Amino acid sequence: MRCHFCDHEESKVIDSRPTDEGLSIRRRRECLKCGKRFTTYERVENIPLMVIKKDKSRQPFDREKLLNGLLRACSKRPLSLQQLEEITNEIEGIIYNSLEREVTSDQIGELVMSRLKALDEVAYVRFASVYRQFKDINTFLDELNALLNNK
């Protein structure tokens, strides 16, 4: 592994531990030339998963995009970054374990909404308003009434 401080190609592993529920390995390394330490992550390479958008276009699945959507929906809400990363990991795992190489954005949206609904109703409504593209206040009220009636 190349040191990003001095560009030397050799380093030694000081510590390894699993992260993301065993989906990746975090390694602390020390450069054999300059002695500085840095962290690397190792993940299993997956076959690309394609997302079919509402306009029927396709793009590669991007877990960062999923996490950023959760962060926007949960802004100023009492959910931790760790909880949002766990939701992201769970959804990513479900998608990859389905063995399908294509998934619709609708399927991803429904998975997100089911998790947010259980954790934080305000974040759920925020996400749903963007995901379902509420066009007016009545559509918004319909969603709120459905949420209230399910209690």
> Residue 74 falls within a domain, yes or no?
yes
Q: Is there a single domain that holds both residue 33 and residue 54?
A: no
Q: Is there a single domain that holds both residue 39 and residue 54?
A: no
> Residue 137 falls within a domain, yes or no?
yes
Q: Is there a single domain that holds both residue 54 and residue 74?
A: yes
Q: Is there a single domain that holds both residue 107 and residue 140?
A: yes
Q: Is there a single domain that holds both residue 76 and residue 123?
A: yes
Q: What is the total count of domains within the chain?
A: 2
Position with higher pLDDT, 21 vs 50? 50
Position 94 scores a pLDDT of: 92
What domain range is 144 assigned to?
Answer: 50-149
Position 125 scores a pLDDT of: 86
Compute CA distances 101 → 45, 46, 108, 129, whole Å.
14, 10, 13, 28
> Residue 144 falls within a domain, yes or no?
yes
Q: Per residue in 75-127, pLDDT tens? A: 999 999 999 999 999 999 999 888 889 999 999 999 999 999 899 989 988 88
pLDDT at 46 over 70: no
- Which residues are within 8 A (CB) of 73 and not within 5 positions of it... i.e. 6 or more apart? 116, 123, 124, 126, 127, 130
Q: Is there a single domain that holds both residue 80 and residue 64?
A: yes
Position 38 scores a pLDDT of: 95
Position with higher pLDDT, 130 vs 37? 37
Q: Is there a single domain that holds both residue 92 and residue 20?
A: no
Dihedral sign computed on CA atoms, order 52, 57, 63, 65: negative
Q: Is there a single domain that holds both residue 128 and residue 66?
A: yes
> Residue 3 falls within a domain, yes or no?
no
Model pTM above 0.85: no
Q: Is there a single domain that holds both residue 32 and residue 59?
A: no
Q: Per residue in 51-61, pLDDT tens? A: 999 999 999 99
User: Closest by alpha carbon to 129, among 88, 73, 91, 84?
Assistant: 73
What mean pLDDT comes out for the span 23-48? 90
Q: Is there a single domain that holds both residue 129 and residue 55?
A: yes
Q: Is there a single domain that holds both residue 29 and residue 91?
A: no
Position 151 scores a pLDDT of: 65
pLDDT at 17 over 90: yes
User: Alpha-carbon distance 55 to 2, whole Å?
Assistant: 42
pLDDT at 5 over 90: yes
Instruction: Fill in the amino acid letter for 17.
Output: R
Q: Is there a single domain that holds both residue 67 and residue 119?
A: yes
What mean pLDDT comes out for the span 14-32? 91
> Residue 2 falls within a domain, yes or no?
no
